[in-house]
Amino acid sequence: MTDHSPVVPDHTAVRVALWRALHTLADPPPHVLDDEIGLRLADPAEDWRARPDMDVAGTRTYRAGIVARARFVDDLVLERARRGTTQFVVLGAGLDTFALRHPDLAARLRVFEVDRPATQDWKRRRLLDLGLGTPENLVFVPSDFESEHAWWARLVAAGFDPGRPAVIASTGVSMYLTEAANLATIRQLAKLAPESAFAMTFQPPLELLEAAERPGRLMVEERARATGTPFVSFFSPDRLLELAREAGFRDARHISAQLLNERYFSGRTDGLRTTNAEEFLLATT
């Protein structure tokens, strides 16, 4: 049997986990998100804060965007769970820690993490190494999003019930997928049971970014290409809203960087804020 497990996890998943940790360690309170479990999972070298991509000042807006998007999804899931939703699906989960950070929800919320088999194998091993194990309400669903319907079939086979309301989250994924794969996902999720919600981050085209963000986008794109994970899909907010409504979602909203800043960074004196380099589509059935 061939062993497909990687020696290290996906570098993007690790960076996201470390930025979330850096927020707690380097930014003054109140913290938008506290996620020390992600740091333990990532298990970086002792000098990880000396990495160029962990520079406190240089990564300020990226770090803010990462914690804001995680907190937005947390808030959405918690609010829906209070209303009776019992299923939460994380597409492209990486080192997501929602199920670990919210053990109080274990009895009433089943969490499905969908990601590449190798990433999930590595994560399982780290959970065992840390003595955490896999929470009873956490289900790993190994799949590749570029295979149009495979991930959906595997999700249902893993116990997901399409006939019951759910929250589906896809953060930091859409830009790595082809437009066809993104559209297939939107169309599939528009068929979810009524009162379901789909939260998806997207990256606008370069010309729609705030001017100060454009050099950073170009640099990030170049690094992504160099590591074999190029950005291939960009959407304007209006285009994505149109696609969601055409797919059959009852309601679709653009959650802008301005709204995220007002909700999570208002009143801060350290200047921490996110930008429109990545924003949300929130669609409901």
As a whole number, the mean pLDDT across the chain is: 93
Confidence of residue 11 (pLDDT cuts 50, 70, 90): confident
Compute the average pLDDT of residues 11-25.
Answer: 94
pTM of the model: 0.94
Q: Does residue 1 surpass a pLDDT of 80?
A: no
| pLDDT tens per residue, range 249-275 | 999 999 999 999 999 999 999 999 999
Q: Does residue 136 surpass a pLDDT of 80?
A: yes
| Residue 216: per-residue pLDDT | 87
Compute the average pLDDT of residues 111-131.
Answer: 94
| Residue 6: per-residue pLDDT | 47
Q: Does residue 71 surpass a pLDDT of 50?
A: yes
Compute the average pLDDT of residues 26-34.
Answer: 96
Of 43, 22, 44, the C-alpha closest to 34 is: 22
Confidence of residue 2 (pLDDT cuts 50, 70, 90): very low
Round to whole Å and give the CA distance between 91 and 88: 10
Compute the average pLDDT of residues 58-78.
Answer: 97
| Residue 148: per-residue pLDDT | 56
Q: Does residue 104 surpass a pLDDT of 80?
A: yes
Q: Does residue 206 surpass a pLDDT of 50?
A: yes
Is 247 strand, coil or helix?
helix
User: Phi/psi zone of residue 281: left (φ > 0), alpha (ψ -120 to 50 degrees), beta?
Assistant: beta
| Residue 147: per-residue pLDDT | 62
Round to whole Å and give the CA distance between 42 and 129: 12
Compute the average pLDDT of residues 200-228.
Answer: 91
Of 222, 220, 214, 208, the C-alpha closest to 279 is: 208
Compute the average pLDDT of residues 50-78.
Answer: 96
What percent of the chain stands above pLDDT 90?
Answer: 86
Of 21, 37, 154, the C-alpha closest to 89 is: 154
Note whether 188 and 147 are within 8 A (CB): no
Enumerate residues 6+ apart whose C-beta is below 8 A from 189: 168, 196, 198, 247, 283
Q: Does residue 146 surpass a pLDDT of 70?
A: no
Confidence of residue 168 (pLDDT cuts 50, 70, 90): very high
